[in-house]
Amino acid sequence: MTLVPPLPWHWRPAVTVAEPAAAVAGRDAAPALLARLASLPANVRARLQMCSSSDLLVLIGAAADLPWVDGIAYAAPSRQAPALWLPTQDEPDVAHDLLARALDLRCHRQPLLLWRTPAVFMPLDRQHAVSPCLLERLARRWPGHP
């Protein structure tokens, strides 16, 4: 049997910019996002869900509810492969459904966020309601939060 080398792919500007369904903060922007979330009215926070990894904080919700802070970017499900979430401004230059299947073979969890910088993919299947308790817990994990 001959092994086929992995198909290389690159990021390119998105052909169509999707409506955001998530706000994504890396290490530099995470403290500001946590502070902004703490200042939101409780009824807005109640409509939001959050996932985190060692590299990213991902806030999931309706576009109108997603706050803006300096340094964050936005993500949305791919139109070609809804289980694959991508930056709204960039996309892979290969078929999204094939890339989603390849990532699923490695991770076995969906949906998955594929992010450009930092270059990571992360499952989004363990979302938590944005509550004061969650914000306090995350504040201890993310240095620089007031």
Q: Is residue 6 part of a domain?
A: no
Q: What are the tens digits of pLDDT across the range 8-48? A: 889 999 999 999 999 999 999 999 999 999 999 999 999 99
Domain total in the chain:
1
Q: Is residue 2 part of a domain?
A: no
pLDDT above 80 for 121: yes
Mean pLDDT for all residues in the chain: 90
Q: How far is CA 62 from the centre of its chain?
A: 14
- As a whole-number percent, the residues of the chain with pLDDT over 70 amount to 92
Does the model's pTM come out above 0.85?
A: yes
Question: Do residues 26 and 56 make contact, with C-beta atoms less than 8 angstroms apart?
Answer: yes
Q: Is residue 146 part of a domain?
A: no
Q: Which residues constitute the domain of residue 132?
A: 18-141
Question: Do residues 107 and 129 make contact, with C-beta atoms less than 8 angstroms apart?
Answer: no
Q: Is residue 69 part of a domain?
A: yes
- pLDDT of 88 reads 97
Q: Is residue 74 part of a domain?
A: yes
pLDDT above 70 for 144: no
CA–CA distance, 28 with 117 (Å, rounded to integer)? 12
Model confidence band, residue 145 (pLDDT cutoffs 50, 70, 90): very low
